[in-house]
Amino acid sequence: MMAYAAKRILQVVPVAVGVSVVCFMLIHLAPGDPLAAILPSDASADLQAQMRALYGLDRPLPVQYGLWLIRALHGDLGQSIATGRPVTGEIAGAAVNTFILAGVATVLGFTVGATLGFLAGLARGTWVDRITSGIAMLGVSVPHYWLGLVLVIVFSVELNWLPATGAGPGGRSLDWSYLRFLVLPAVTLSVIPMGIIARTVRSLVADVTAQDFVSALGAKGMLRRQVLRHVVRNVAPTALSVMGLQLGYLLGGSILIETVFSWPGTGFLLNTAIFTRDLPLLQGTILVLAMIFVLINLGVDLLQGAIDPRIQR
Amino acid sequence: MSVLAASPPALRAERSPGYWRGVGSRIARDPVVVAALAVIVALVLMALLAPELAPMAPDKGSMIRRLKPIGTPGYPLGSDELGRDMLSRLIYGARLSLLMGVVPVPVAFLFGATLGIVAGYAGGLVNALIMRTVDVFYAFPSVLLAVALSGTLGSGLGNAMFSLTVVFIPQIARVAESVTTGVRKLDYIDAARASGARPLTIVLEHVLGNVLGPIFVFATSLVSVSMILASGLSFLGLGVRPPDAEWGLMLNTLRTAIYVNPAVAALPGVLILITSVSFNLFSDGLRGAMDVRS
Amino acid sequence: MRAAVLPPLEDRGGPAQPLLTVGGLVKHFPVKGGVFGPRRAVQAVDGVDFSVLKGETLGVVGESGCGKSTTARLLVRLMAPDAGTVIFDGESVGDALSLRDYRRQVQMVFQDSYASLNPRLTIEDSIAFGPRVHGVAARAATGRAHDLLARVGLEPRRFAGRYPHELSGGQRQRVNIARALALEPRLVILDEAVSALDKSVEAQVLNLLLDLKRDFGLTYIFISHDLNVVRFMADRVMVMYLGRVAEIGARDAVFDAPAHPYTAALLASMPKADPAERRDAPPLSGDPPNPIDPPPGCRFNPRCAFVEDVCRRTDPPLAALVPQHSAACLMASSGSGHSRAPEIAA
């Protein structure tokens, strides 16, 4: 196991380096001068050169990358152009909100999706299967930002049960005054993992029950409950790893939902950064989200390797 | 030494129906896939014939007829925040929405499949070079990569389509590589190599026919994702710019209208949903029809 | 330039010159150890020498993993050897004889009849592919495919346009044989070519192979784990063990008087209908050792009934007992220090 873990971790290093290179290059991909946002348009050539030297922009690209990487590894992602505050702090605050949203959405999506998928897999070909598979299909096909709007229309505008936007005036708490703000965005965000997990679990359950040993267990007079437990044990590792990956996708992909609900997370931050052309903030947010995704993937692989030694090839 | 003199084929041999004819006939027997295909064709026709079908010009507004509800005389699906006819805008919207959502997938298919097949067939260093680069882009969640790229490049149809293409290339390349690696190990490739054929000949005549099918099925499953992402970019203000008609952008500009006329505000999303579901059903059906085991 | 037929291949060295001479053939496959583990290699083929005479069938036997198939793939150049020479009718392959010209002369039939046919090509297209690659016009190549189909017993008008999955295993293997013959090769390597077939079909295909050999003047290397089939087909037999040649000689000499205890053990494990024919050689026990770490000395020593200390120290060379019959065993090599070795002739 240790050898497998070491191998997987070593494999992640080049990917992480590549991801950081892509994030670094983003700024240079952007049209226009990176300094244009901070300098007045009539700045003298002298001042421009001075600023260029100050930001290290006069050095060759690999050197700039190296310096940027060293600073990033020390937790320094530069300053937001719009607010002047350190990017790291801005991201840290927003990341907590995104983690809460994505975490709740993943758990919700997994619970509903796994249940639906399990039922569909056991009752293959029946109307239960068709309905649950239809729901799963809608879950992966629906434009979730639109679903968010529809939920707002129904529960905020028409019924006036839940707030439409924001994370509430008070702080985070387990209080309804905070949680009511979480309900709509979390439900909306849970739809995609729900659909994906339902489809995965359905085919896994179908595969396991089709194997001979399951019918053999039934034939040996085992109780239906015991057989079910057996199926669950065989399906769980893959389903859980799919759930882990989905959490990663949601952390990086919640920008649309956070925009719909004005949820103050990393996605919302990204959106703000894009429209204020705040390139350091944009770059830092993308780097952090991508690295989290890489680490979650690694974590899922290691967990899976620990649960199922056959994977450690 | 030749005992056989090569003679031209005496009579045309009986020819079995090919693989793709079998797939076609299996698809034709599946009512769900046929229905999905019909919806897709209808959407494409709607986009192509928009000037004929739309009752009004999509950009003709009227300040006194803003946000009329569904069923208003002259405005069967109501009007938007600038008093433009929703029906006409939804019909015209199919043009940019389909263009933005669909085109990145075949373009990414071209690049991704080429990269993946080359990597899979060549193996070794070439494979490592291509696939490790692909891994880096694959390490970004697709929404994040699309937003990051089009966010830095700036809004606009071209940038959005470019970003989506970049998002899908690594996904297709990974599938292409794994399918090709599998096919490459089979004896018929070895038999072709033993006959002295050049690698390019083998790839064109023996590899392509056996890998394009699975890669194609995977690519069709991406169209639905691409539609949602493309409209999502417009929804964020990163895709098409106003006043062009595009479903995602229409959802965005109508957001403020949810308190006045919620049904109208939700309409563009219904069309995105219908398109996305149709492509998903078609892709699922195609996968089933191409699976020789079934 | 598109020709109507392939240029005929000529015998250059005359009947006495071996068609194929293999010397010191080596192929090791690197295996991945741990992250920091030592670099190691599977010694799939580790110094193999033999020759194939014109017009003969050389049978190759051995357990799975002994290097039979790797040798075959090296001979068809599906992979490059790490070391060794291959001389084809007097010309060194890769030097005097170009790889492309060599490939036309040596073709192979694989074990898996389904995997060795492209599922998306009709049978005539699969057979015609080789000639087309070598410059035969498409129409002529298809015509040749039809002639060959008829020759292997498949009615061209019924079968030429079919796809592999529409054929039985025996029919597919006939197609594979036709495909191998399409380039008019002089040497055909049959790698377990009948092993996956039913017994009755196997007999038909074996007889077809004998007919084709006679009619086209072919030379065969016939690889199989089935000793009965090898006895039926082969003129000479080569026994392989852990990437080396254990014994090579005329069929009857090897079958009736095996000189290597491994050969004797293999023969003893052969199913026999007649109890009187059963041998008293000790049967083979255990699995072959790991080809990553072959034992020191004689590679067979951990499983050999006659093992002595000297066997664990000395790697026996392939030594001739009598002309045309050699074995890599210290018992067959005079003065080797093994108690059963023949006395040194005074």
Q: For position C103, which CATH number holds?
A: 3.40.50.300
Question: Does residue B47 come out as left (phi exceeding 0), alpha (psi in the -120 to 50 range) or beta?
Answer: alpha
**Residue C67 lies in domain:** 17-31+38-234
Exposed e or buried b per residue across A154-164, where buried means at least 16 C-beta atoms within 10 angstroms of its C-beta: ebbeeeeebbb
Q: A213 and A95, same structural domain?
A: yes
Q: Three-state SS for C221?
A: strand
Size of interface A-B (CB pairs under 8 A): 136
Q: C276 and C222, same structural domain?
A: no
Q: Tokens 């696939």, residue? A: B131
Q: Is C34 on the interface with A (CB under 8 A)?
A: yes
Q: Is the per-residue pLDDT at B293 higher than 50?
A: no
Chain C residues with CB-CB distance to A14 below 8 A: none
Q: Which of B251, B277, B281 is facing A146, going by the closest CB pair?
A: B251
pLDDT of residue B264: 84
Report which secondary-structure segment, H or E, holds C189.
strand C187-191
CA distance between the termini of chain A = 10
Chain B residues with CB-CB distance to A282 below 8 A: 148, 151-152
Q: C282 and C161, same structural domain?
A: no
Q: A64 and A152, same structural domain?
A: no
Q: A48 and A120, same structural domain?
A: no
Chain A residues with CB-CB distance to B144 below 8 A: 252-253, 255, 286, 289-290, 293
Q: C282 and C200, same structural domain?
A: no
Q: A261 and A135, same structural domain?
A: yes
Q: Which residue has the higher pLDDT, B130 or A310?
A: B130
The answer to which of A7-11, B278-282, C34-38 has the lowest mean pLDDT is C34-38
Q: C215 and C278, same structural domain?
A: no
Average pLDDT, chain C: 86
Which residues are paired to C20 by β-bridges?
C52, C88
The answer to which of A219-223, B135-139, B283-287, C52-56 has the lowest mean pLDDT is A219-223
Q: For position A225, which CATH number holds?
A: 1.10.3720.10
Q: Three-state SS for C117?
A: coil
**Residue B193 lies in domain:** 12-290
- The pLDDT tens digits of the residues spanning B93-120 come to 999 999 999 999 999 999 999 999 999 9
Q: Do the bridges between strand C219-223 and strand C20-31 make them parallel or antiparallel, or are there none, so unpaired?
A: unpaired
Q: Is B210 on the interface with C (CB under 8 A)?
A: yes
| Shortest CA gap C142–chain B (Å) | 6
Q: In this structure, is residue A228 part of a structural domain?
A: yes
- The pLDDT tens digits of the residues spanning A26-47 come to 877 777 666 666 666 677 778 7
- The pLDDT tens digits of the residues spanning A117-142 come to 988 888 877 888 888 888 888 988 99
Q: Is B258 on the interface with C (CB under 8 A)?
A: no
Q: A223 and A101, same structural domain?
A: yes
Q: C196 and C54, same structural domain?
A: yes
Q: C81 and C203, same structural domain?
A: yes
Give the range with max mean pLDDT: A19-33, A210-224, B208-222.
B208-222
- Rounded to an integer, the average pLDDT of A276-296 is 89
Q: In this structure, is residue C256 part of a structural domain?
A: no
Q: In this structure, is residue B1 part of a structural domain?
A: no
Question: What is the number of domains present in chain C?
Answer: 2
Chain C residues with CB-CB distance to B2 below 8 A: 5-6, 8, 184
Q: In this structure, is residue B4 part of a structural domain?
A: no
pLDDT of residue C296: 85
Q: A266 and A221, same structural domain?
A: yes
Phi/psi of residue B251, nearest 5 degrees: -60, -40
**Residue A177 lies in domain:** 91-312
Q: C265 and C229, same structural domain?
A: no
Q: In this structure, is residue A85 part of a structural domain?
A: no
Q: Cα angle vertex B260, ends B254, B263, to 5°?
A: 65
pLDDT of residue B1: 42
Q: A232 and A101, same structural domain?
A: yes
Q: In this structure, is residue C2 part of a structural domain?
A: no
Q: In this structure, is residue C6 part of a structural domain?
A: no
Q: A166 and A101, same structural domain?
A: yes
Measuring CA to CA, how many Å separate B123 from each of B127, B179, C31? Answer: 5, 13, 16
Q: A173 and A49, same structural domain?
A: no
pLDDT of residue C223: 94
Q: How far apart are CA C263 and CA B216, in angstroms?
A: 52
Q: In this structure, is residue A252 part of a structural domain?
A: yes
pTM equals 0.86
Q: For position B93, which CATH number holds?
A: 1.10.3720.10
Chain C residues with CB-CB distance to A3 below 8 A: 34-35
Q: A118 and A251, same structural domain?
A: yes
pLDDT of residue B294: 39
Q: In this structure, is residue B6 part of a structural domain?
A: no
Question: What is the number of domains present in chain B?
Answer: 1
Q: Is C38 on the interface with A (CB under 8 A)?
A: no
Question: What is the number of domains present in chain A?
Answer: 2
Which chain A residue lies closest to B153 (C-alpha atoms)? A30
Q: How far apart are CA C175 and CA C153, in angstroms?
A: 9
- The pLDDT tens digits of the residues spanning B165-212 come to 999 999 999 999 999 999 999 999 999 999 889 999 999 999 998 999
Q: In this structure, is residue A70 part of a structural domain?
A: yes
Q: How far apart are CA B165 and CA B177, in angstroms?
A: 18
Q: C70 and C184, same structural domain?
A: yes
Q: C189 and C88, same structural domain?
A: yes
Q: Is A10 on the interface with B (CB under 8 A)?
A: no
Q: Is B6 on the interface with C (CB under 8 A)?
A: yes
Residue C344 binned pLDDT confidence (cut-offs 50, 70, 90)? low
Q: Which of B238, B248, B273 is facing A142, going by the closest CB pair?
A: B273
Residues 119-148 of B with CB under 8 A from A: 132-133, 135-137, 139-144, 147-148
Q: In this structure, is residue C317 part of a structural domain?
A: yes
Q: Is A107 on the interface with B (CB under 8 A)?
A: no
Q: A110 and A53, same structural domain?
A: no
pLDDT of residue A37: 61
Average pLDDT, chain A: 83
Q: In this structure, is residue A212 part of a structural domain?
A: yes
Q: How far apart are CA C70 and CA C54, in angstroms?
A: 22
Q: C166 and C67, same structural domain?
A: yes
Residue C49 binned pLDDT confidence (cut-offs 50, 70, 90)? very high
Chain A residues with CB-CB distance to B280 below 8 A: 137, 140-141
Q: A189 and A62, same structural domain?
A: no
Q: Do the bridges between strand C236-241 and strand C244-250 make them parallel or antiparallel, or are there none, so unpaired?
A: antiparallel
